[in-house]
Structure 1
Amino acid sequence: MVINHITGVLLAGGKSRRMGNDKRSILLSGETLFNRALGVLKTIFQEVIVVLGEGDFPIEATHIKVVHDIIPNRAAAGGLYTGLFYAKNPRIFVVACDMPFLNPEVIRFMASLADEGDIHLAQLAHGPQTMHGIYSKRCLPVIEKMVKEEKLRLQELIRHPSLQVQMIPESDIMPYDPDLLSFMNLNSPADLELAKKIKSPSP
């Protein structure tokens, strides 16, 4: 079933300093990281938005809204703000395009919990997963203020007293994704080599 009350947002800014080249175009199992992530979102959400940084990036998919950062050079905070701003729905599910093993079952499970509240994130042993989560439009003024104050870490957002945050325990995620591959992101050539050794989970 397609989710029509939450918008899927893919952050694809394009800056990949640690990787050394544009992560969006990196191939894994014959498919670019960008297309892998976009393909998952398209199967789940009726509305999908791709947020780019500066410049353009070739996108072959149809029925996808492509926008550029409203507030440029503000990393994930700027991309999250832009996705929330353009979404037709009151909430978005956001991921970065360097996450090669997105699991539709995990995303649908998280979406099923998001009837109330402003932020829904997985709380893993090593911390909250801010780039694989659900955010409401009530976050917009908070993010705008953060950006103006040069506070770009999303941990600042999830600690804001005006927002209702639900942390989903790792134990609740594991029945859908026992190895927690959904939350793996590729920041370096070493990460990419590790990903090449992992068999992609079946959707």
Structure 2
Amino acid sequence: MIDDATALILTGGDSRRMGRDKATLVLDEQVLWRRIAETVRAVFPHVLLSVRRPRVEFDLPQVCDAFENAGPLAGVCAGLEAAATPWVFAVATDMPFLEPRAIELLATRRGGYEAVVPVVGGHPQPLAAFYAVECASAARALLKADGPRSLRAFLERLRVCRVDESELRGADPALRSFIDLDTPQDLDAARSEPSPRNSQRP
């Protein structure tokens, strides 16, 4: 277990391309938010759900965005401010193939940094990443300021360890951890391809 970190599952996205709430989509007879919760609960003793407003169907602790229409940075900020641990691992609810070994690899790279971010295909993955809670003030300042209020802009203000895919493949050879379901076609593809579940699933 990674005892000094809290898992933060972001469930408050607009889901514009999907056309419906991603958190409640079903894959392998399980809603996505519950699926990702099972994964992170095998790694972290503390789990929070980031929501825009309280949702009675979620039976895990929730944190609400303090900033309206501010995207995932608002959810990350709320999680950083609510966590009782020094670190937060933020993950999107639409990443159903997250591999615990990939999380554990990222956790080993935290020394001396404020964030640890995987890079896949040359693109940072800020919603499968570790953030130090001491960065909450930087996130809040960015949300209050004029200009871009994005995770990319947030990372530009932090000391970031970027973990390249060549390293990530040691924990997740196919890099399935970083597949996200953005469209109905993505969901159909995930449903049609038999894939092993994460090793912790009973």
Q: Same fold (TM over 0.5)?
A: yes
1:39 maps to 2:44? no
* Alpha-carbon distance between aligned partners in 1 of 2:3 and 2:44, rounded to the nearest angstrom: 6
* Alpha-carbon distance between aligned partners in 1 of 2:170 and 2:197, rounded to the nearest angstrom: 13
Q: Residue 115 of structure 1: CA displacement?
A: 3.2
Give 1:10-159 correspondences, 5 Å limit: 10-60=9-59, 64-148=60-144, 149-159=146-156
Matched-pair contact (CA < 8 Å) for 2:115–2:159:
yes
TM-score w.r.t. the length of structure 2 is 0.91
SS at match of 2:68: coil
> Mind listing any 5+ residue stretches in structure 1 that lack a counterpart?
none
Q: Report what 2:189 is aligned to.
A: 194
1:177 maps to 2:172? yes
Q: Deviations over 1:108-146 (max 9, x none)?
A: 111122233101001122311111000012322221122
Runs of 4+ in 1 over 4 A off after TM superposition: none
Q: Report what 2:7 is aligned to.
A: 8
Identity fraction in percent: 28
Q: Residue 150 of structure 1: CA displacement?
A: 4.3
* Alpha-carbon distance between aligned partners in 2 of 1:95 and 1:29, rounded to the nearest angstrom: 20
TM-score w.r.t. the length of structure 1 is 0.91
Tell me which amino acid in the other structure corresponds to 1:166.
C
Q: Residue 57 of structure 1: CA displacement?
A: 4.5
Q: Residue 201 of structure 1: CA displacement?
A: 4.1
Matched-pair contact (CA < 8 Å) for 1:24–1:97:
yes
* Alpha-carbon distance between aligned partners in 2 of 1:151 and 1:80, rounded to the nearest angstrom: 15
Matched-pair contact (CA < 8 Å) for 1:125–1:170:
yes
Matched-pair contact (CA < 8 Å) for 2:54–2:62:
no
